């Protein structure tokens, strides 16, 4: 027996809080009966419908994809571009946890566990995200410090972060660097370097918590290991 709001959230339909709202708003039916009571429990045999859609309870899966450039991190694309689902070997209704840009490569988690996805993308979640960045121009020490202290991008001040392994290529006036952030605002890394005058030419997420790309090639996908899942969950709840 599971609480109705948990079953709805676990199906990936929405967050638990939203599920509670849908229940109290009278949008949820169990075996054809409207249920507005939040404490209601259901079994695997009960048929749950939300907004006229039957909720299916699938076993949860958790993958790590080495996303190549040239794929969108959504489950469909209005311009017909390739999506990351083209690389996922499952019939389950999975989706990416957060986003990487079309031209960004690297670690991307894929799941059908709505609660895990909400936990990972919550602003309170403090998992480290490590990126390798190639940018235009030579990144000066002072510019690194400005980014590391926190910089205003549009109307938002980024949290302190770290920048290391800065290497210059004076032949073509570019730099490479590693940046570790604990946030995930839209286009955040690109905007941070752009703000100090260094447009990003190439971006790769090499690590998320303890999840790395070790032993993987672009386009490879593997199951998340139980200890990796445990660490990501713990970071989310800390």
Q: How far is the CB of 189 from ligand URA (least distance, A)?
A: 3
DSSP string over 24-74: HTT-EEETTEE---TT-EE-TTS-EEETTEE---PPP-EEEEEEPTT-BSS
* Residue span 71-110 as binding mask against ligand URA, x where in contact by CB under 6 A, dash where not: -----------------------------xx--x------
Place of tokens 């000066």: 140
Active site residue 46: no
* Number of residues forming the site for ligand URA (CB under 6 A): 8
Would you say 100 or 213 has its CB closer to ligand URA? 100
Residue 106 Cβ vs ligand URA, minimum distance, rounded to whole Å: 8
Which of the ranges 11-19, 59-67, 142-150, 182-190 carries the binding residues for ligand URA, by CB under 6 A?
A: 182-190
Among 182, 187, 218, 233, indicate the residue that binds ligand URA (CB under 6 A).
187
64: tokens are 């790590």
Q: How many CB atoms lie within 10 A of CB 212?
A: 16
* Binding-site member from 24, 74, 121, 188 for ligand URA (CB under 6 A): 188
Burial (CB count within 10 angstroms: exposed 0-12, middle 13-18, buried 19+), residue 165: exposed
Give the H or E element holding residue 171: none
CA 178/CA 41 separation, integer angstroms: 48
Binding flag, residue 189, ligand URA (CB under 6 A): yes
* Active site members: 101
Residues that bind ligand URA (CB under 6 A): 100-101, 104, 187-190, 203
């Amino acid at each position: 027996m599971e609480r109705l709001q948990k079953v709805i959230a676990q199906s990936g339909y929405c967050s638990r809080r939203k599920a509670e709202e849908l229940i109290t708003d009278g949008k949820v039916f169990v075996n054809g009966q409207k249920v507005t009571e939040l404490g209601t429990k259901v079994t695997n045999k009960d048929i749950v419908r939300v907004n006229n859609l039957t909720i299916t309870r699938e076993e949860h899966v958790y993958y790590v994809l080495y996303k190549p450039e040239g794929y969108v991190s959504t489950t469909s694309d209005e311009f017909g571009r390739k999506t990351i689902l083209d690389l996922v070997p499952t019939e389950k209704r999975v989706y990416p946890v957060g986003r990487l840009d079309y031209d960004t490569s690297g670690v991307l988690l894929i799941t059908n566990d709505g609660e895990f996805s909400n936990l990972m993308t919550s602003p309170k979640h403090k998992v480290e995200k490590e990126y390798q960045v190639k940018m235009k121009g030579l990144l000066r020490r002072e510019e690194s410090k400005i980014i590391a202290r926190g910089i205003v991008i549009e109307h938002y001040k980024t949290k302190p972060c770290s920048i290391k392994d800065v290497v210059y290529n004076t032949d073509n006036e570019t730099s490479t660097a590693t940046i570790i952030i604990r946030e995930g605002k839209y286009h955040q890394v690109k905007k941070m370097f752009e703000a100090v005058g260094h447009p990003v030419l190439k971006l790769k997420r090499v690590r998320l918590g303890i999840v790395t790309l070790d032993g993987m090639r672009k386009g490879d996908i593997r199951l998340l290991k139980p200890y990796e899942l445990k660490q990501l969950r713990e970071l989310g709840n800390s």
